Structure 1
Amino acid sequence: MNLDWLINSTELNNFKCVAGKSNLNNKILSVNVLDNPDVIRWIKKDELVLTTGYIFKDDTEAQINIIRELKETGCSALAIKIKRFFETIPSIMIEEAEKVGLPLIEVPFYYSFSEISKTIYNAIYSQEFNENLLQYNIINTLSSIFFENKGIDVMINELSHFISKSIILMDCEYNVISASFTPEYEHLVNGIDLPKVSSVGTASYISHTEISDTAYTNLKINYEIFRFYIITLPNFTGMLCILIDDTELTSPHKMLLEKVKSIISLEITRSDKIKTISNSYHNFFFDFLISENKKSEKEILEICNFYDFDYTKKRVCASFILENCENDQHRNKIISTLQKAISNTFRDHQNLFLCANNNILSLFLFYKLEQSNIEAVNNTYNIVYDFYNKLGDSISCTLHIGISRCHSGITSIRTAFRDTLNCINLKKHQNINEPICCYSNKHEYHLLSEMSEASLMKLCEDTIMPIIEFDKDNNTNLINTLKVYYLSKFNCTDTAKKLFLHRNTLINRLDKIKELLHGDFSDNDKMFSVYLGICAYEILKH
């Protein structure tokens, strides 16, 4: 129902649109009455606003402001009853409504607001009843298909026909279980063979205020890329993928899909078409890790229980990120090789969990609660370091490895994974050559990176700004000299070797640094602040 329907297709006669005629397709989802300026803050999007105009009848400024404020609310239109306080709607309101694009409706004096509201709400309730009836019919149809053992293909065909969308049903490894295409997409099916589907990047999750466990993502079908609306089926038995073309899925259809997903999941389980998944390798669990979609502790608990992820213990995450692979096939092969190598290497390690997507493989190692965080991280580093050395040249691409802090508790599972990404990003920014980077070894950078840009700049100004300005004016790099000197524990010999400098050259540089900082290197507290300033400067640069 929209404004055009209200004006031209109801028993209400002589309604007239005097401004904003180009927006007569505006939806009407509810009705509100404007009898006080404060009501505007409660007006909702797509709401028809009715008024007699009493609150602004003698105030031209208020008339203009009312139009502007209502436009900002996203309401459907403002409908003003005439012959009550206005003979006709003021021209200044018509001009402003036309200017901002707010439909302005002239309502005959002989219709009460209750009559108008009743007409609209009767239509809304009738539409909702019909939608519920249609939903009941399709749910009843799918249930009958299930109990009559007609199979998953018949079920998906019926659902596709009902929502007028192409549907692909897959397991978690992107193996197609069933598919049904609308006429314009039938070319994707080659004879009786099911289409080949592969993931293109990672899922882009919708807001957590929407229906849970859904996402929009791109999938490749026979070399063509399409956008899909994805629903994860109960118990992670598969994915229901609806191809999104020129028109989005309607809200009733989304609600319907949520209702029928349990029936589809039951049919998949019974049909034996679903591929048995190894508990050590799960794309769905990885989607949970990368998702910004908020989940309650109960939801996370269900995911952990399904995948046998031991949330009761401490954990350290190590992520392996691939770069510079020749192509998708090469990358997938390496991911598979890594997974098998880790499974074989850590076969005796009872507390192990693996998950992956296209170019990242994440390994979780679990530890007893009584073990210290330091011990858990050091043990993980040693295990991963030995594993990396054994790989040798078998991985023919660039491999970055990040190790998280030690975490505990069910809500910090994602945090451990994000630790690994953060330290790998830091490694790239600092051009660190070591393949393995540990979050705990660079705590100062991670803490500083949470500060605002202004705070970081203030830290630089209070500690090392004279050196920054000198380097800029003289094309030198005293900042790096000071950093290496600090990390070398103020040992001139070690610093000179690392910088490939003659000792006298280094001493000259250090003397200049002392001059710029107005002090020497004897105050440990001051030098630590200077080092933090260097870290802040490096973060700002990148």
Structure 2
Amino acid sequence: MTLKELLMKPEFSRLTLINREGDLERTVLTVESTETPDVAAYLPGNSLLLTTGMAFKDRPEEFLKFIQSLNDISCIGLAIKLGRFLDELAPEVIALADKLKFPLLRIPLECTLGEVYHGMLSHIWNNENDNLLNALNIQKKFSTLLLSGAPMKNMLNNLGMLLDKPVVILDLFGEIYEYGYKCGPEDRKLSRETFARMEEVFSGQPDEPYYMDEQCRTDKICIFPIRGISCNTYYLCVLHTEKVPAELSSLMIEEVLLIFGIYFYKNLYLICNKARFKEEFLQILLNRFEKETWTRRQMLTLGERYGFRAGSYYRVIVAQIPVTDQKNFQIGDFTKREERYLLIFQWIEEKLRKKYGNKIMFLPETDRWRYVMIMQEELKDIEKVLKDIYQRIEKGFGILLRFSFGNSTERPEEISRSYMEALEIFQGGSEEKTEGYISYYRPKNIMELLKSVSGNQIQELCLYTLKELAYPKDEMTEELKKTLSTYLDCRCSVSKTAEMMFLHRNTIKYRIKKCEEILNIDFENPNDCFSLQVGLMLSDYRKGV
């Protein structure tokens, strides 16, 4: 209850505000009475103090210190019975109270402190008892809805009717999750705008209720965070209200937020079950069942419920969450990582569904902390959509997703190949980047493949194929090797080789004859020529490493 609401009661209407700037919107939880000047050390927070001011008669400088000390401990105001020890308050005392917005109340001379004290305290206790009873009733009502499996829409309708105000649930990206009673398009728009403004004010999402600046507009809105396992995952918005609604005491709102928090925690398991079914179908697409093979018809039949369809274009995009350890996804024991993974899964899935329908499938790979997108037709604006996803996930979770594209295929049976190509990028394969977080697969060239072969193996193969020409030890052998390489590049043409090397034809013939004697091969055999070309390439590669 605020001090303003307390003073509006008929039995306390005779108390008047002395200083103009006193803030009557402060919440009062209890009333205390004292004449001791050092009482600030013993007062509970949010208390209203009653006094005659006896200890400060003719001592305004001590009264200034007293008011400052009360304000510092969140005392909500001071009610003084003037006319007994103090006739009026000194101007400097009133000025300090105005500066602090600390309420100074005048108790009429005909009222006793005991009468005011007991009357106020009794009223506050009765009000708290009413709030407690209301909170328990709300807990019972919403718990029953939760246990009966009522959707969030029903819960919000009940809350909206209870408050007679529009209510909205926003996700952590500021998008509408659900709305209730009397919540029209303008109300939903206002809730999104206020959430965006809140993020600007706090440079993120606050952990405490947020109230829209009263000077901003006439339509007030309250935003209450709903806590998940590790962070605020959703937000309850109450529109067209002044600060915390009178109908929602702190106990009542705590009960509502607790029930909503349990609802969303329960919802994580529903998301997880959905993800597991989709992941099983992904295993089929990727041919991970060793004892079973699936025909195209079977794939299409099983995948129909997930939006899989027959076509002539399939392309895999893998989205990888960075992980610092190899812990598996805990299905029955959610931690911060599982919650984060499932919320991202739910949000991206819904975004892709709204944007593309069944043009793209979105499947989870939980144990590898990845997501797999399967394009079922070419999407020209997919990079733009991935950029938005990347930015929103970074802002909402502080996670830097990476996306990799495999090549397209025309057959469902080859989706696994596109997946492996996309995955190879994360495992150190070749890639062509467009953005720092988007990569496209390209096949390795022969030199990149050689990186996986040991130096000893390359050296042995070169010596076996080229013999002493593999690693020349004198100038003559070096010239023979150069001539052999050019001769093979010129498709065994003496004339073209002589032209390329600026040498006489007879010189080329002589050198080639020497190579034949050393290598004991026939240059008319294509297989021998290919082996020599590979050997020459490998010997040069080995020399450069």
Q: TM over 0.5, yes or no? A: no
- Which of structures 1 and 2 has the bigger CA Rg? 2
Band the TM-score falls in, shorter-chain normalisation: 0.3 to 0.5
TM-score, length-scaled by structure 1:
0.43
TM-score, length-scaled by structure 2:
0.43
